[in-house]
Each structure stands twice: as structure tokens, then as C-alpha cells.
Amino acid sequence: RAAPGVLPSLLMCDFGDLKSELDRLQQAGTQCLHLDVMDGQFVPNLTYGMPIVEGIRKHSDLPMDVHLMIKDPLAYAKPMIDAGADSLTFHVEAVEDAAQAAREIKSLGACVGVALNPSTPLEALDGCLAEVDMVLVMSVDAGFGGQAFNPIALERLQTLKQSHPDLLLEIDGGINRDTIGQARAAGCDLFVVGSAIFKHQDYSAAIADLNAQMSG
């Protein structure tokens, strides 16, 4: 299993200077990038798709963890993997049969995660947990960076950790130096961070501080 780590979310970075953003993140010790793909339909915000993922792949060897906040994740699974995605996370709210969606993505050769929003009952995941590598517990409503942390995520992490100790657990939304330690204590492995990195000038210092707070 992967060591616990901070995944910078490429949502609030400088997209006009993406190459130097990638260099700075790599120099700051980043192990994996988190890419937020939004379609303006599943969430009321629109970001980017395969051309950007492919562009990042050309300039960086870092693994890409792609968070699909889109209405039809299966339609874009193969194009995203072809563009260089290493893991694909779809939202349970977006599909009719999450177990089947997970199997389809897995058969394409990617790691597969399932995400759920704070307002979706945890039981929505029941049928698909045996088919996924990872659960992404949202601690804000998917769609925007910079929102406040919803502590419902902590009890969900604890529940999942107990019932499925082998699953990789990821948290996304409102993770900063005050919340990362609680998420780690609740059993989380991977911590997606947007504003708490990108609002700082010095990414290395911000990530080092998050790592220090994580391990308590």
C-alpha cells in the first residue's frame, strides 16, 4: 500500500504557466498529482479534459489521479487513460451501477476509485466496494476549491477503515494544516489539497507543513 501523502489538486494553479507549476510541485516532493475534471453538468463548474491531461503527461512523470466530476464517466474513461491518467475516480452519484462502472474502468487498466459527496449516504457504496481500489470521501460538495471542511468525512473514513481495511482512502475538500491531522487519525491515506498549497508562494514549505501536521 502507498505511503500516506499529499496530492496537490490542479484546480487553482496558474494554467497559463502550467509547466513551471509542475516543476515547482515536483521540486516540492509531490508524489502524485490530483486532476479535477468537471463538465458543467454533474457539477456547476467547468475545468478541463484530455488535452490538458495529455499536456501534463508530456512534461511530468508523476502519477495522475484523475477525479471525474462528470455526468458520464464511462464515456471518458478510455480517452482519459489514453491521455495518461493512472487512476480514475468516478462519482457514485453519476452512475446507475457503480460496481459495473468500476469493473469497466479496471478492465481498461487503470486503478479505480469511487467518490461520494457529503450528502450521499455511505450505503450508496455498498455494492461496489469489492470492485474498487480506492474510495474518495468528499469533505465538501464537489465542484469548487476553497470550501469549508465538512467533518462528516471523518466518520465515513473511520467506518470504511474498519469495514474495509485494505481499501485506499482519499479525502478531498477543505484539507489544510488544521484538518489534515484529523483525517489521518480517521484512517485516511491520501490527502487532496488545493488552496492550502496554491495560496502560498512557497509550495515546498506548504507541503512540508501539511506533512508535519499529518503525522501529528
Please report, for residues 93, 117, 129, 161, 195, the alpha-carbon distance to residue 124 in angstroms, rounded to integers and kept in the order given. 8, 11, 10, 16, 29
Query: Is residue 9 a contact point for ligand DX5 (CB under 6 A)?
Result: yes
Min. distance of Cβ 192 from Zn ion in angstroms? 5
DSSP state of 45: -
Among 195, 204, 209, 211, binds ligand DX5 (CB under 6 A): 195
Q: Does the footprint of ligand DX5 cover residue 172 (CB under 6 A)?
A: yes
CB pairs under 8 A, 24+ apart, for 205-212?
Answer: 206/28, 207/6, 207/8, 207/28, 207/29, 207/30, 208/28, 208/29, 209/177, 210/6, 210/175, 210/176, 210/177, 210/180, 211/6
**Is 36 an active-site residue?**
yes
- The reply on whether position 11 binds ligand DX5 by CB under 6 A is yes
Nearest to 190 by CA among 213, 172, 163: 172
C-alpha cell, 134: 480506492
User: Residues touching ligand DX5: how many (CB under 6 A)?
Assistant: 21
Which residue in 172, 183, 197, 210 binds Zn ion (CB under 5 A)? 172
Nearest distance from C-beta of residue 195 to ligand DX5, angstroms: 3
Clarify whether 172 is annotated catalytic: yes
Which residue from 37, 38, 66, 67 is in contact with Zn ion, where contact means CB under 5 A?
Answer: 67
Of 13, 35, 12, give the one whose Cα is nearest residue 23. 13
Rounded distance between C-alpha atoms, residue 2 and residue 7, angstroms: 12
Segment 67 to 96, residues that bind ligand DX5, using CB under 6 A: 67
Cell 476549491, located at residue: 145
Q: Among 39, 172, 189, 202, which one carries the catalytic annotation?
A: 172
CB 113 within 8 A of CB 64: no
Residue 36 as a binder of ligand DX5 (CB under 6 A): the answer is yes
Pick one of ligand DX5, Zn ion, none as the site partner of residue 145 (Cβ within 5 to 8 A by kind): ligand DX5
Q: From the list ligand DX5, Zn ion, none, pick the one residue 84 interacts with, judged by a Cβ distance below 5 to 8 Å according to partner type.
A: none
Write out the binding residues for Zn ion, residues 9-48 only, by CB under 5 A.
36
* Beta carbons within 8 Å of 122's beta carbon, 6+ residues apart: 116, 156, 159, 160
Restricted to residues 109-168, the positions that interact with ligand DX5 (CB under 6 A) are: 140, 142-147
The residues binding ligand DX5 (CB under 6 A) are 9, 11, 34, 36, 67, 140, 142-147, 172-175, 192-196
The residues binding Zn ion (CB under 5 A) are 36, 67, 172
Task: Give catalytic residue positions.
Answer: 36, 172
